[in-house]
Amino acid sequence: MNTVGIVGELTFDCQQMMRETMSMRSETLEKIKNECPSVDPNTIDWSSVNRDTWFACVSFEKNKGYYFPIAESENRDDNYSRVKSGMAYFISQGFTAYKLQ
């Protein structure tokens, strides 16, 4: 059995994050919109966030999205600074942020 590991660091550059958005199927976007609460990084109760929490920023117009899994250490560092600044940037670019889990 082979084991494959992906090693690297997540970018803190919001413009790079935007370039790394992924295409999403309209069905996936609708499911997120209908089943997950939209959030604002300025009003989230960050004490309720844990390693199982996932956030996503999605654009329904572009069918694009970017995920912030809190299990990744870069997303927990410095009081979630990467997630907070990343979500704020995506929102400023017309995306909507959702708490998936």
* Tens of pLDDT, residues 14-69: 889 999 999 999 999 999 999 999 999 999 999 999 999 999 999 999 999 999 99
In which order are the strands placed within the sheet that holds 64-69?
Answer: 22-23, 64-69, 54-59, 96-99
pLDDT of residue 10: 77
In 3D space, the residue among 90, 58, 86, 89 whose CA is nearest the CA of residue 72 turns out to be 86
**Contact between 29 and 63 (Cβ < 8 Å):** yes
pLDDT of residue 1: 65
Strands (E), 3-82: 22-23, 54-59, 64-69
pLDDT of residue 13: 82
Enter the pTM of the model. 0.86
pLDDT of residue 65: 96
